Amino acid sequence: MSTFDLVFYFFFLIFVARASFSSDPSDRQQLDKVLDLPGQNFNVSFATYSGYVTTNKESGRALFYWFFEAVEDSSSKPLVLWLNGGPGCSSVAFGLAEEIGPFHVEKDGKSLYLNPYSWNEVANILFLDSPVGVGFSYSNTSSDLLSNGDERTAAENLEFLLQWFDRFPQYKENDFYITGESYAGHYVPQLSQAIVRHNHKTGEKVINLKGFMVGNALTDDFHDHLGRFEFMWSVGLISDQTFKQLNIVCDFQSFIHSSELCEKVQDIAEEEIGDIDLYSIFTPRCTANFSVSNDRRSGKGKLSILRRAYDPCTEEHSTIYFNLPEVQRALHVHESPSFKWETCSDQVYDNWKDSPRSVLKVYSELLRSGLRIWIFSGDTDAVIPVASTRYSIDALKLPTVSPWRAWYDDGQVGGWTQEYKGLTFVTVRGAGHEVALHKPKQALTLFKSFLTGKSMPKLDLVSDS
């Protein structure tokens, strides 16, 4: 190492130490700024930050985040938190790298390309790996990975946000929304509830929460099972006999902790279904030599505007990329010699503790708070299908404000929608469990409507005269 290198390294260590102990938020932000992301062969106009927030000092629990400022005028744009589910699946793996993030991973697993339908086109987007044991989030106490559950996750996600806003105070006054999919159907309303209660307890709007939106969301175990079995039978995936058995044995079971008998009947159903992707029943599975968990539940370059064909192997590409040491260094990832990044953690899922059978009571509470609440559903998902979500919404017994109708995108039916008092439901035609992976343009249209609180677009009739 040359004398110049030694001097540079010395001053770098001083800066890191100063920023680590400094109370100045700008120092902490600078420490988290992503300066050189491997495989990014294009320029962007927005800043991005990643790092950790310690949510429990005693056990050393720390949650990893990756934040992308809006493409333009970030100070005036809403701030949106995205959560993936599982439980045990990474928001970086799915929400960011496959769906709504600005950077997606190329097939070589080493380079990136711009997503022209990224949600940071209209908002500041914050991705969070939660709870510990998921993605890059970790704990210095190994037993923490065996004791995750809904209650602790909501509490620590709230703690994360309170500390994150202290680190990025310039966004405290921005409208704040929470979004997510799958098991985030628990995380998102539970965190929203925790925020509303915290604001009420403190007597001020500590977090400026305006609403939340969830997609293909686990909501109520009974209705989700009922709709799932009905959907699988109605599209011809399972036999009449298996459909009847599933309804008899599994209807009142937990999605996360099913009985042995229910699992046996579901094994029969899987044999009848065959080797398809239940998260997107009409698209091909990944045929690469790669073990993908079937429990995922849970300055622009000109090339960015080209339409890309659907790639069922996106999870494989991400697994290669986020295990590259140079990528982890660029993202300020916690160093551990035995660490291997995974899209989903079986350890977290298999040891999940509390998981309420329903979050409908949480919805009832939040509907009274005046939050904007939207639920969307890709209609080719067989894991938590449209039928499940419709049953759950129906159980809320909300009056209809605007009846069922088609919505449009570029003159084509993008899906269907119905507006209730306090809640809007939207389906996305031809999309699977990860709506923005299959229908990115339509998903961005949905997101824009949600942020503005406007109804989904109708068909614009052009006069011949």
Pick the catalytic residue from 139, 182, 318, 392. 182
Which structure tokens are listed for 349? 């899922």
Closest to 86 (Cα-Cα) out of 324, 433, 446, 437: 433
| Angle, helices 240-249/221-234, rounded to nearest 10 degrees | 180
Q: Cβ atoms within 10 A of the Cβ of 72, count?
A: 12
Distance CA 154, CA 296 (A): 20
Residues 127, 65 contacting (CB under 8 angstroms): yes
Check if 182 is active-site.
yes
Angstrom distance (rounded) from CA 160 to CA 63: 7
Compute how many other C-beta atoms are within 10 angstroms of the C-beta atom of residue 26: 13
DSSP 461: P
State the Cα angle at 48 between 314 and 6, rounded to 5°. 110
* Integer-rounded Cα radius of gyration of the chain: 22
Active site residue 381: yes
Q: How far apart are CA 347 and CA 344, in angstroms?
A: 9
Residue 150: Cβ within 10 Å count: 20
Q: Which residues pair with 105 in a beta bridge?
A: 112
| Cα–Cα nearest to 176, from 200, 210, 199, 204 | 210
Which phi and psi angles does 256 have, rounded to 5°?
A: -90, -35
Q: What is the DSSP track for 268-313?
A: HHHHHH-S--TTSTTSPPP-SS----S-------GGGGSPPPP-TT
Of these residues, 186, 317, 433, 438, which one is catalytic?
433
**Helices and strands (H, E) in the chain, number of each type:** 14, 13
**Annotation marks residue 355 as catalytic:** no
d(CA 327, CA 348): 24
Catalytic residue among 298, 381, 388, 438: 381
Q: Catalytic positions, please?
A: 182, 381, 433
